[in-house]
Amino acid sequence: MRHKLFRKPATSKRAAIALGLTLLAASAHTAHAQTLPADITASKTLTFCSAVNLPPMEFFSPAQQPEGVDIELGDALAAKLGLQAKFINIPFAGLIPALLAGHCDAILSQLFIKPPRLKVIDEIPYMYSQEGFILKAGAPKLSGPEALSGEKAATVTGTTATDLLKKANVALAAAGKPPVTIVMFPENTPALQQVQFGQVAAYGVAYETALYYANLQPSQFEVGGPPYFKILTGIGVAKTTPGLKAALTTALHSLMADGTYASIYKKWNLTADMLPQK
């Protein structure tokens, strides 16, 4: 007598797989919860400090909701940790002081990784950034910062663009040439307006932002030339929260593995800034 081979229905197998994935996700959230600061675990909220005025990284939509690359990445990181993301708008120069004062849990605002910053906070690398210039449409292209000798250039206070123009002035002085007059502003909008109204020759800013405005308003702005500086960019966390740093690092690697990270950068046409996939 032959015995029929009993097979579990396919639906049962799919249900088992789904259950397994659910349990795996739950255990991952539990593991993250064990390393997160108690206040984050209790509130179920991950609060980011961000200078929400520098598209395409972070800016306000017409409905006054934050959006951009960093905003989407922050939402995805929080979701991986079983949390809700919250963004606090802080002027760029005040980001690190706000983090150290406990006003937020982390900084997500295209913060370049530089030795002076690493003395006071930790940073988790998540992308590359580049520097460039925004010019008034029709202006001649620039070969680099030194090409602005004798001209005025706008920057945002505390940014690398300001430091690079200061470095250019050292080189110009050594060559006996007039310096660049650096006009600093607390945020992006007034600096951009100075270019629009012809008050400065250029606005030194992240190359990603220069591309954004040149594409958005080609009759008003243009990119000043190819990027002249590239640097690793990180998520800033306080040195007193190593558990948060570990959890965010794990969550970032998970987003890279499941394709979420790449999809965000493809959406905003910034794949050239992505970290290499491991």
93 and 56 together in one domain: yes
What does the chain look like in DSSP terms, one character per residue? -PPPPP---HHHHHHHHHHHHHHHHHHHHHHHHHHS-HHHHHHTEEEEEE---BTTTBEE-TTS-EESHHHHHHHHHHHHTT-EEEEEE--GGGHHHHHHTTS-SEEEEEEE--HHHHTTEEEEEEEEEEEEEEEETTPPP-SSGGGGTTSEEEEETTSHHHHHHHHHHHHHHHTT-PPPEEEEESSHHHHHHHHHTTSSSEEEEEHHHHHHHHHH-TTTEEE-SS--EEEEEEEEEETT-HHHHHHHHHHHHHHHHHTHHHHHHHHTT-GGGSPPP-
185 and 256 together in one domain: no
* Residue 6, pLDDT above cutoff 80: no
**pLDDT tens for each residue of 14-31:** 444 344 444 444 444 544
Determine, yes or no, domain membership for 31: no
109 and 65 together in one domain: yes
Average pLDDT of the segment spanning 94-107: 98
Work out the mean pLDDT of the chain and round it to a whole number.
Answer: 90
Query: Higher confidence at residue 176 or residue 3?
Result: 176
87 and 168 together in one domain: no
* CATH code of 162's domain: 3.40.190.10
Determine, yes or no, domain membership for 23: no
Give me the number of domains the chain comprises: 2
Determine, yes or no, domain membership for 34: no
Q: By residue range, what is the domain housing residue 136?
A: 131-230
Burial label for 157, CB within 10 Å (0-12, 13-18, 19+), is middle
206 and 80 together in one domain: no
46 and 177 together in one domain: no
Query: Higher confidence at residue 17 or residue 152?
Result: 152
**pLDDT tens for each residue of 75-93:** 999 999 999 999 999 999 9
Enter the pTM of the model: 0.83
85 and 223 together in one domain: no
145 and 265 together in one domain: no
